[in-house]
Amino acid sequence: MNIAQRDKITRRPASQEAPLSRGAFQVVGTVTIWIWVGFNALLLIWVAVASLKDSTAIFSQSKAFSLPSAPQWANYANAWVDSSIGRAFFNTLGVVVIASVVVVAISAPAAYALSRFSTRAASPMTSLFAIGMGIPLQATVIPIFVGFQGVGLVNSLTGLTLVYIAAQTPFTVFLLTGFFRSLPFELEEAAAIDGASVLRSFREIMLPLAKPGLITALTLNIVFLWNETALVLYLVQDDTKFTLGRSLLNLATVATYTSNWGAMFAGCVIVVAPVLLTYILLGRRITEGMTLGAAK
């Protein structure tokens, strides 16, 4: 049995292995963590429950903690149609999917070239992209806004999509560069000996191998852009073009006047549900992707 195998087997709590005192810290820590986790779960459930309650019951003194007597699905219809969450949903879907696909499509070749070509420009270029991750949107949005005004891209989902692509490029290139670097070089050399062109070797050998990395990049982009509301706040004032976050914000603001809390929480559920689903299905990719850069 080699060390790795033995490591797996002997992974038992320290307290069983040899008399070590984990003591007070562990107890306090464990309790704190479970309370925290409980709070998170509870909040999620609460919002979901609130979405099915009658609006008057949500903040009322007596009914705040209780379950609804009859689930008010009307809240969802209300949110979807009357408050245009439905339209925002499709706006968001379109923008996010297109932007994510394009950003991965342009970042993959770039990352490939940066990680495996030996030109002099490779290293400074990599750094250039890396810096991009640190540029806050506050430093770019004003010229973009004005520029878009000039070409009619304000209040346009197309404009938003273009900005999203650019904004996510640095991170995606960074992520994929790290990923491509980890793939073996010998495959391409073998392909070259067999006479494959660079393009072909990229398409037929590298891309399939890189699939997990690409899916991770795609997932992370989708999740991040799904929630992106800042740029929408700057660039889109036409409410028919709102994305989900923006639309929900609107809904919440309006709700302070109309007290339509039920619909507001239904809107929350609509926004969160796809992310929750993605997290359940692709959670491992998300967590691995996020730690890939850090723990390289």
Partner 1 sequence: MSTITISGVTRRYPGAKTAAVDNLDLDIADGEFLVLVGPSGCGKTTSLRMLAGLEGIDDGTIHIGDRDVTRLAPSKRDVAMVFQNYVLYPHLTVAENIGFHLMIRKTPKAEIQRLVKDAAALLDITEHLDRRPAKLSGGQRQRVAMGRAIVRQPQVFLMDEPLSNLDAKLRAQTRVQISTLQRRLGVTAVYVTHDQVEAMTMGDRVAVMDGGVLQQCDTPRALYERPANVFVAGFIGSPQMNLIGAKVDGNGASNGTLTVPLSAAQRSNLSSGEVTLGLRPGSLTVTDHGPVRAEVEVVEETGADAYVYCTADLGDGPTHLVVRCPSRAFPAKGERIGLAVTDPDIHVFDGVTGRRVEH
Partner 2 sequence: MSAVAAGTRTAEKGVTPASTVATRPRPGGGGSLSAKRNRLFWPFVLPALAFYAVLMLAPTVATAWISLQRWRAQGDPMEFVGLQNYLTLYNSDVFRTAFWHTLEILVVCGVAIFVIAFAMTMALREMKGRRAARSMLFFPYLISPVVIAIGLGLVLDPTGALNHALQGIGLTSLVKPWLSPDHIFMTLVVTIIWVSTGFYVLLLMAGVERIPRYYYEDSDLAGASAWQKFRHVTLPLTWDVVTVAAVLWVINAFKIFELIVAFSTLGDAPPLQSRTLAVEQYYMTVGGRIPAYAMGRGAAVGVLTLLLVAVSVVLMRRLMRRERVEF
Segment 69 to 128, residues that bind partner 2, using CB under 8 A: 106-107, 109-110, 112-119, 121-122, 125
- HSE-up (13 A, CA, CB side) for residue 110: 21
Query: CB-wise, 2 or 138, nearer to partner 1?
Result: 2
Q: Is 118 in the site for partner 1 (CB under 8 A)?
A: no
Q: Are 86 and 80 within 8 A, CB to CB?
A: yes
Least Å distance between CB 136 and partner 2? 5
Candidate list 1, 4, 70, 295; residue touching partner 1; CB under 8 A: 1
DSSP state of 239: G
Quick one: what does residue 16 bind among partner 1, partner 2, none, with the CB cut-off 5 to 8 Å set by partner type?
partner 1
Least Å distance between CB 188 and partner 2? 8
Q: Which stretch binds partner 1 (CB under 8 A): 11-19, 41-49, 127-135, 228-236?
A: 11-19
Q: Is 4 in the site for partner 1 (CB under 8 A)?
A: no
DSSP assignment string, 26-72 = HHHHHHHHHHHHHHHHHHHHHHHHHHTS-HHHHS-TTTTTSPPSS--
Q: Distance (Å, rounded) from C-alpha 264 to C-alpha 261? A: 5
Coil/strand/helix, residue 22: coil
Structure tokens at 249: 């914000």
Helix, strand, coil percentages, rounded to 5, for the chain: 75, 0, 25
Q: Is 295 in the site for partner 1 (CB under 8 A)?
A: no
Quick one: what does residue 215 bind among partner 1, partner 2, none, with the CB cut-off 5 to 8 Å set by partner type?
none
Q: Which stretch binds partner 1 (CB under 8 A): 12-20, 73-81, 126-134, 257-265?
A: 12-20
Q: Is 10 in the site for partner 1 (CB under 8 A)?
A: yes
Q: Are 235 and 154 within 8 A, CB to CB?
A: yes
Q: Which residues bind partner 1 (CB under 8 A)?
A: 1-3, 6, 9-10, 12, 16-20
